[in-house]
Chains A and B, each alone.
Chain A
Amino acid sequence: MAGARRSNRSFGDQREGEGTAVEARYRAIVDTAVDAIVVIDEQGRIEAFNPAAERLFGYSADQMIGENVNRLMPEPYHGEHDGYLERYRETGERRIIGIGREVSGRRGDGTKFPLELSIAEWRDGERRFFTGVMRDVTDRKRAEELQQLMINELNHRVKNTLATVQSVAGQTLRNAGDLEDARDSLTRRLLALSRGHDILTRESWDGAELADIVASVVAAHGEAERFDIDGPAVRLAPKAALALSMALHELMTNAAKYGSLSAPEGQVRLTWRRSRVEAGERLQLRWEEIDGPPVVKPTRQGFGTRLITGGLARELGGSVVLDHRPAGVVCEIDAELARTGQSNRFIRGAV
């Protein structure tokens, strides 16, 4: 910046002769630069302050020319900057010059903000100047923080999902008749888990409609004509949705193996309703198998039964009755809607 000189307003005075074109060229760059550009002398006095600097700091060039640059800095830099300059004059030790780093800036209204700063040093005869180029990195920092939060949340979910697979695999293997049976059951359960996630992902993990969950489980099974489905709109929280999705999968698998869906004429009636009670609203859901073979009560509790009568009931904050009636399996769920309807707070979920 050979042509840039001390100015009472901005970058350089108009000069006669050959310097003028160079001056005009630099001035065009400096005045239109998106980044704030500030020139100081060896004592830290501001020599030049471009329009982007005016916008960034909320001071006019007229206000700032001749002022100590430390006015643009919050503590501790505000108090220490004169000392930095002095040390640099004495030792030549560089902290920022030619390196660039992230510092804090202070606006005219007193607010503090993160700032990326690079500094160039130059001489004009005996005098030494420093040109600082600055950029507000508030948005970038915010994006970085959000990204970190998302990564933490993702990590949490991946680990929980792996633990879920550990759980499902362990229970499946323990209850399986043989290896082929285990492989088949485990695969189906993982696919069911995946479908449950799909429904939630479609709505950014904000919850799911009960009818969508039912439709997904029925579609995975096929034979839609064998289902009689009826119920009003009900919004479920993510965890309740996932638990119900898995529970319906287990009922479906059982019906296809041993229950009504194992017989040519068998049907499933799946209905639900909302009812208002004193404590709030409740959801009553009923799974009923019709025209199947006579039901034999299972002798031991498998994964499905445990999930439905234990886990699901707890997840829904209600009661679940699984009745192996001779005429067909009936499963009745009675849950608090206030609880099942909690919304998921994706970001707040991260610690």
Chain B
Amino acid sequence: MARSDPLRILVVEDELFVAMLVEDLLGELGCEVVGPAASASEAARAAEREVFDFALLDVNLGDGQTSFETAEILRGRGVPYAFVTGYGDQGVRPDLRDVPVLSKPIDPRHLARVIEALR
């Protein structure tokens, strides 16, 4: 699927500076950022209502909250997504490990491959 209009990407990230980083990296890849959503409830709301092509979900959103519920909503809507986590695969709930998992710090080449696969 080749497309030239910018991909819209929902960013879920509660760490301020990491959110800025993800925005920058996606900008360099020619994507438009939706969000960033900084909490589980904000993320779930965006996942239900916003229009976008892909989502990057930080797993741990602080205070024990995670983005797994958002992932379930996206799966239900058929919107592809990837996780971002400092824990590696182990940080992702086992039944949700069928999507790409990006590590922190973020390897721009890995992110580029994940985005490229969407085009």
Contacts and interface: CB of A to CB of B under 8 A. Distances in A.
Nearest to B15: A160
A159 B105 contact: yes
B15 A155 contact: no
A160 B105 CA distance: 7
Nearest to B68: A351
Interface string A148-190: 0000100111111011111110110010000000000000000
A300 interface: no
Contacts of A162: 104-105
B21 to A, nearest CB: 4
Interface in A116-169: 152, 155-160, 162-168
Contact of B63 (A155, A157, A349): A349
A315 B86 CA distance: 21
A315 B38 CA distance: 8
Interface string A231-269: 000000001001100000000000000000000000000
A60 interface: no
Interface residues of A, number: 34
Q: Pick from B15, B16, B38, B66 the residue with the most CB of A within 10 Å.
A: B16
Interface string B1-36: 000000000000011111111001000000000001
Given A344-B63, A349-B62, A351-B60, A314 B16 contact: yes
Interface string A282-323: 000000000000000000000000110011101100000000
Contacts of B16: 239, 242-243, 307, 311-312, 314-315
A306 B104 contact: no
Contact of A349 (B19, B21, B64, B85): B64
Interface in B25-70: 36, 38, 59-60, 62-64, 66
A207 B63 CA distance: 13
Given A342-B63, A348-B64, A164 B86 contact: no
A37 B103 CA distance: 50
Nearest to B91: A351
B106 interface: yes
Contacts of A158: 86
Contacts of A168: 17
Nearest to B24: A170
Contact of A159 (B20, B24, B104): B104
Interface string A311-351: 11011000000000000000000000000001011001111
Contacts of A342: 63
A160 B24 CA distance: 16
Contacts of A351: 59-60, 64, 66, 87, 91
Contacts of B36: 314
Contacts of B21: 163-164, 166-167, 170
Contact of A167 (B14, B18, B62): B18
Q: Pick from B17, B59, B62 the residue with the most CB of A within 10 Å.
A: B17
The 4 closest A-B pairs by CB, nearest first: A159-B86, A167-B21, A348-B64, A164-B17
Interface of A: 152, 155-160, 162-168, 170-171, 174, 239, 242-243, 306-307, 310-312, 314-315, 342, 344-345, 348-351
Given A156-B91, A159-B85, A307-B16, 20 more contacts: A156-B86, A159-B86, A159-B103, A162-B104, A163-B17, A163-B106, A164-B18, A166-B105, A167-B17, A171-B20, A174-B24, A239-B15, A307-B20, A310-B20, A311-B17, A314-B38, A315-B38, A349-B60, A349-B64, A351-B66
11 contacts: A157-B86, A159-B105, A163-B15, A163-B106, A165-B105, A167-B20, A239-B62, A311-B17, A348-B63, A348-B64, A351-B66
